[in-house]
Amino acid sequence: MDDIVRQAIAKWPNVPDCYGWLGLDARGDWYLRDDATQAAGPFAGGAAGKGSVLRHTQLLAFIGRNYDRDARGCWFFQNGPQRVYVELAAAPWVWRLAPDLSIASHTGTAARFEACLVDEAGRVYLLTDLGLGLVHSLDVDVVATAVEQAVWETQAVRAADLPSRYGFVLSPQQLAGR
């Protein structure tokens, strides 16, 4: 967490949490979701509820440095004194893979492989030392090569079981009843 964020929390400790305004899609893109977008439907429910993709490099880096989870398994971005909860399309991490099987998250954080999972729709997830994440669609070929070469084995999972099994919440907004 950035020092400026810690200082803001200390200065304004009672800022209310924010729900529904930020989403993370299955390709690791962050989306800003205004009132109209939220009224159009849930983040994972399709394009109408997604919002506007964020592209500002410094903002994306700031979000990435201040991305974390709470004790309930709800992921958030600590924006100064305000905790902005993130609506997740699939998982809290989106993994990018290099041909040497090194793993980096959508925030640029390096991770260590623990297990490879495949759900009923054929989506590929990796369990790492940082937690569970979806493999970016452009990198599934790297996983296929690792499996074909017997470097990694896959385990079958049901997508609906992943949040409870790996301790994350897809929709903190829904959990909070907002």
Cβ–Cβ < 8 Å for 93, 63: no
User: Rounded to an integer, what distance in angstroms lies between the CA atom of residue 115 and that of residue 35?
Assistant: 38
Looking at the domain that runs over 3-90+167-175, which CATH code has it been given? 3.10.540
Closest CA to 170 of 91, 54, 93: 91
Answer yes or no: are the C-beta atoms of 118 and 157 closer than 8 Å: yes
10-residue mean pLDDT profile of the chain (178 residues): values are 78 87 97 94 84 96 97 96 96 98 97 98 98 98 97 98 98 88
pLDDT tens, 124-174? 999 999 999 999 999 999 999 999 999 999 999 999 999 999 999 999 999
Q: Look at the block and give the residue holding tokens 């924010």.
A: 18
Start and end residues for every CATH 3.10.540 domain found in the chain: 3-90+167-175
Write the CB contacts of 28 (distance below 8 Å, at least 6 apart in sequence): 94, 96, 105, 106, 136
